[in-house]
Amino acid sequence: MSGLGLLPTDRLFVLTGAGISAESGLATFRGSGGLWNGYRVEQVATPEAWQADPALVWNFYSMRRRDALASEPNAAHRALATMEKQMGDRFYLCTQNVDDLHERGGSLRVHHMHGSLFESRCERCEVPFADRGFYEDGNTLPTCKDCGAAVRPHIVWFGEIPLAMEEIYAKLAASTHVLVVGTSGSVYPAAGFVQIANQRGLKTIYVGPEEPLNAGAFDDIRLGTATEILSGCLDG
Ligand code: OAD
């Protein structure tokens, strides 16, 4: 991994965002103006939206399931899978994305801090389970087989706490390098990881076509698409 300047003992923490899936045809949040069918994404991705209109929320996530199923992983997803194979336990991948393109690109261990598109959970029992269903007809929304309560997408909505934050901070503390790919740096706590890393003296690298909002915390900004730059890192 000489393209990233890594030594054999270095440990790499990777954070990805919607930009890594852009070249697979999945719209980024800010790129689409943050809008879906005239709604702001925040209006359909909050606990309040779920309480007010679960059919609308399921409609949105059913569409996202369809879009993800119709897309394929790209060279950037595959490059990260190759890095994982080469580095083993010295590599950690945390994604804000809820799609499964990292896994389909060959990554073995992926932490989905904002949840997973192809999982749902009963809002009372809270246990996530695999679910590839589409609930676009408001009359047939899913309910829990055990308790009958409503089943919701296993997604971290605005105002909710991302998954396994302690593990993330522990991995960050144990790393020497942080590589951030395709995220605007606008949603916390993920946008703050690089600031923590920077204060601790870790080497921080950003990959994407434009500078993120938290650009000041990066040592190295590589402007370009994820597929171009990450494939180049492997060539080394
Ligand atoms: P954004 O839509 O905010 O940002 C996408 C970033 O990808 C932008 O900075 C683009 O410049 C960059 N980008 C576009 N094309 C790219 C390419 N080909 N290669 C690399 N980068 C590219 O998406 P996120 O930062 O991921 O949260 O959004 C963060 C969170 O906000 C999401 O996880 C979601 C959202 O609301 C929740 O749902 C909780």
DSSP letters spanning 38-80:
TEEHHHHSSHHHHHH-HHHHHHHHHHHHHHHHT----HHHHHH
Ligand 1 within 6 A of CB of 41: yes
Ligand 1 within 6 A of CB of 224: no
pLDDT at 42: 77
Full-model pTM: 0.96
**Which residues pair with residue 208 across a beta bridge?**
223
Ligand 1 within 6 A of CB of 99: no
Active site residue 154: no
Ligand 1 centroid to 226 CA: how many Å?
12
In the chain, % helix, strand, coil (3-state, to 5) comes to 35, 20, 40
> What is the rounded distance in angstroms from the CA atom of residue 205 to the CA atom of residue 221?
6
Domains delineated in the chain: 1-26+73-114+162-236 (3.40.50.1220), 27-70+116-155 (3.30.1600.10)
User: What residue has token string 């199923």?
Assistant: 69
For each successive 10 residues of the chain (236 residues), what is the average pLDDT? Answer: 85 98 92 74 90 94 95 98 97 98 98 98 96 92 96 96 98 98 96 97 98 97 98 79
pLDDT at 235: 66
**207 exposure class (CB count in 10 Å sphere: 0-12, 13-18, 19+):** buried
pLDDT at 1: 58
pLDDT at 32: 72
